[in-house]
Amino acid sequence: MPYPAFHLSFFIFCVSLVGIFAIAGSGFRREMTLKDAKHLGLLFFVGSVGSVFPDVPAVWNYFLNGTLQHTRIGSVPTHSLLFGIVAFILAFLLGYIFYRNVSKASSIGIFAEAAFLSHLLLDDIADGGLTYLYPVYNEPLSIFSVMNVKLSGVDFFYYNFACFVSVFFIFCVMFMALLALKDLGFGFRYEPVE
Ligand SMILES: [Zn+2]
């Protein structure tokens, strides 16, 4: 299991790279105001909490039971679709309280969801076997274990499909963060080269 600091720094520095890039550029040009600082603070908070949210049970298990069991609340797995929806709803509500705007609140929810999924991505690579689809499907699945198939040992189409699934998952997480950040003031645009 990757440590919380790893989940957090992976999401902020890798998945949210466009945000870091834009903040650095604006900061250097001194375009930041106090209002921007609150906006950025909210994004940082939502991204941070979202990226460690699936491991939330570790907190009370540590204090109540002296263990670091971090994947379940009772019989309910936290690295799952169900908790992904909870993360989205909580972030959406927080975003709505902050902006009073459904579109902005949705982007905050999507940003939190990207953070949540980036956690599952790392856990799957490190340990494999997460109940991604709980409560729809309650068996462990591992997207990244399929990357390790030997080229000569399997069907060519299976091999390419397996690669596509792994890459598409990473693409989805990064694209969700990018879409949310674009709606929240961070955007790239093509500028024709002279
Ligand atoms: Zn985890």
Q: What percent of the chain has pLDDT over 90?
A: 48
50 vs 66, higher pLDDT:
50
* Residue 133 domain flag: yes
Asked whether the predicted pLDDT for residue 97 surpasses 80, the reply is yes
User: Which residues touch 15 (CB under 8 Å, ≥6 apart)?
Assistant: 114, 115, 118, 173, 174, 177
> Of the candidates 117, 157, 125, which has an alpha carbon nearest to the alpha carbon of residue 144?
125
Give the pLDDT of residue 13.
Answer: 93
Asked whether the predicted pLDDT for residue 3 surpasses 90, the reply is no
* Residue 178 domain flag: yes
> Of the candidates 104, 89, 117, 135, which has an alpha carbon nearest to the alpha carbon of residue 176?
117
* Residue 189 domain flag: no
Q: How far is the CA of 130 from the centre of ligand 1 (A)?
A: 9
Asked whether the predicted pLDDT for residue 66 surpasses 80, the reply is no
Q: How far is the CA of 70 from the centre of ligand 1 (A)?
A: 7
Q: How far apart are CA 178 and CA 170, in angstroms?
A: 12
Asked whether the predicted pLDDT for residue 43 surpasses 90, the reply is yes
Number of domains in the chain: 1
Asked whether the predicted pLDDT for residue 14 surpasses 90, the reply is yes
Q: How far is the CA of 82 from the centre of ligand 1 (A)?
A: 15
pLDDT band at 150 (very low <50, low <70, confident <90, very high): low
* Residue 164 domain flag: yes
> Of the candidates 55, 58, 105, 103, which has an alpha carbon nearest to the alpha carbon of residue 83?
55
Answer for the pair 80, 133: CB distance below 8 angstroms, yes or no. Answer: yes
Give the pLDDT of residue 190.
Answer: 80
* Residue 94 domain flag: yes
* Residue 44 domain flag: yes
User: Domain range for residue 20?
Assistant: 4-183
Q: What value does the mean pLDDT take over residues 62-71? A: 74
Q: What value does the mean pLDDT take over residues 134-146? A: 86
* Residue 192 domain flag: no
Which of 23-27, 47-51, 124-128, 172-176 is predicted with the least confidence, judged by mean pLDDT? 23-27
pLDDT band at 26 (very low <50, low <70, confident <90, very high): confident
Give the pLDDT of residue 106.
Answer: 97
pLDDT band at 109 (very low <50, low <70, confident <90, very high): very high
Answer for the pair 81, 130: CB distance below 8 angstroms, yes or no. Answer: no
Ion ligand 1: residues, Cβ under 5 Å: 54-55, 123
Q: How far is the CA of 176 from the centre of ligand 1 (A)?
A: 20
* Residue 57 domain flag: yes
Q: How far apart are CA 10 and CA 78, in angstroms?
A: 20
Relative to beta strand 76-77, strand 72-73 is antiparallel
Q: Which residue has the tokens 């003031």?
A: 185
